[in-house]
Amino acid sequence: MLPIKLIREQSEYIKEVYKKRNYEFSIEELLNYDSKKREITFELDKLRADRKKSTKNISSDMSDKEKKEIIDSQKDTSKKIHELEDLAREMEEKVKSLLLDMPNILQEDIQIGKEEDAVIVKEGFGDKEIKVSQKNKLSEPPSDIKFDQPIGHWEIGKQLGIIDFERGVKVSGQRFYLLLNDGARLQRSLIAWMLEKHTARGYSEVYPPALVKEEMLIGTAQLPKFGDNLYKDIEEDLWLVPTAEVPITNMYRDEILKQQTLPIKHVAYTPCFRREKMSAGKEVKGIKRGHQFDKVELVNFVHPEESYAAHEQLLEDSLQIIKELGLRYRVIQLASEDTSFASSKTYDIEVWAPGSNEWLEVSSVSNFLDFQARRANIRFKDEKNNNIFLHTLNGSGLALPRTLAAIIENNYDGKKINIPPVLQEYMKKKNIS
């Protein structure tokens, strides 16, 4: 949520940001309701003061008639106050509703444009960095690695008996699948290994609920805009989490933290649930885009002065996992129209999947500034004893299905999947055949 003071004082700046986002919003409508609310508040303060003053004017030496006149006047004033209080609440709700529909501002270095205008800022293969070519196109495969006959993970999974799509659909419907035997073990090993890697880098592990209240989704800005993509219990105020970002961020909802506790860095594994509508085709083939998927999430709570540096470090924390898995990757800085509603700047990390013949997004690393903190009312007390909204950041570390798909496709030699060395201890074997 943006501060109303910023909108009042820099409305033209906000309009320019939303133009870059290609986002339509009437700031004039918001400011109109805000102005009415302030006028009503001013009038209420005046009426309350008048009523208080008239009460003091009643004295014992007054006649009954004089007292009655003052009391009758107070009744009229009280009636006006109640009417204006109702109107003030109505204006306040309209202002709040509009504020919740306003996306975040953008950082100055964001490329203006659509999805295809994103900028590749980093590339690598395992722990080796590759110089970024400015001629690279987002849709092009990497030129430094070749596969003779790459096979999709859906075919490999069937051949080796580690993925069952037919029974997954039978049990739950389209875009569900079963991981079997070493497929299930590989996913479990990935989760355990990633959690241990992140905790070793200073993250505190949390295992949160997979169901949250509606106000928690408002806090992290999935609601009210994106409710159609979420699963909800129709009888209770409970929603399945689309990401661990929601319960972890809201752990500190309505709290004032001590400055010395910052930064707070949490890692969490959860199943995630999304109702995204997708047509049949390459993008939904295999396990790349299911309604239920596992993800390890990283969430940071930092001092506002440290969030830009924390964003770069969070990116490195996610990248470290990919490097140790030995995958070909690239980092993309999203353009203005593709930057998410709540984010001020986002890096996507993609890995190359030769069988799918595409780059798969395995992590989205975002800096929200104080946008989520204002919605969830998360503050810290600074050295001057002021309550300040902190900054929140998060990133996948990593999303399991696509990471799993990339491991399968990149490590299949025609007969078996060669397990990445970092996972062999967890799997108790070197390959899946």
Query: What is the C-alpha to C-alpha distance for residues 178 and 168, in angstroms, rounded to an integer?
Result: 5
Is residue 298 within 8 A of residue 395, CB to CB? The reply is yes
pLDDT, average across residues 317-343: 98
For residue 64, pLDDT beyond 90: no
How far apart (Å, rounded) are the C-alpha atoms in residues 297 and 379? 22
Q: In the prediction, which pLDDT does 177 show?
A: 96
Q: Is the pLDDT of residue 307 over 90?
A: yes
Identify which of 122-126, 277-281, 335-339 has the greatest average pLDDT: 335-339
- List domains and CATH numbers for the chain: 4-100 (1.10.287.40), 115-432 (3.30.930.10)
pLDDT at 63: 67
Q: 75 falls in which pLDDT band (50, 70, 90)?
A: confident
Q: What token pair was written down for 313?
A: 């470090």
Dist CA 325 CA 432 (whole Å): 16
- Per-residue pLDDT band at 87 (split at 50, 70, 90): very high
User: Cα(82)–Cα(56) distance, rounded to whole angstroms?
Assistant: 21
CB neighbourhood size of 208 (10 A): 18
Write the single-letter amino acid at 230: L
Q: With contact defined as beta carbons under 8 Å apart, do 27 and 7 qualify?
A: yes
Give Cα 111 distance to the centre of its chain: 20
Percent of the chain at pLDDT > 70 equals 93
Per the document, the length of the chain is 433
Question: Would you tell me how many other CB atoms lie within 10 Å of the CB of residue 431?
Answer: 15
What one-letter code names the amino acid at 89?
R
3-class secondary structure per residue, 186-235: HHHHHHHHHHHHHHHCCCEEECCCCEECHHHHHHCCCCCCCHHHCCEECC
Rounded Cα–Cα distance for residues 228 and 238 (Å): 15
Residue 110 has what pLDDT? 96
Query: What is the mean predicted confidence (pLDDT) over 259-271?
Result: 98
Least confident of 109-113, 134-138, 228-232, 386-390: 134-138
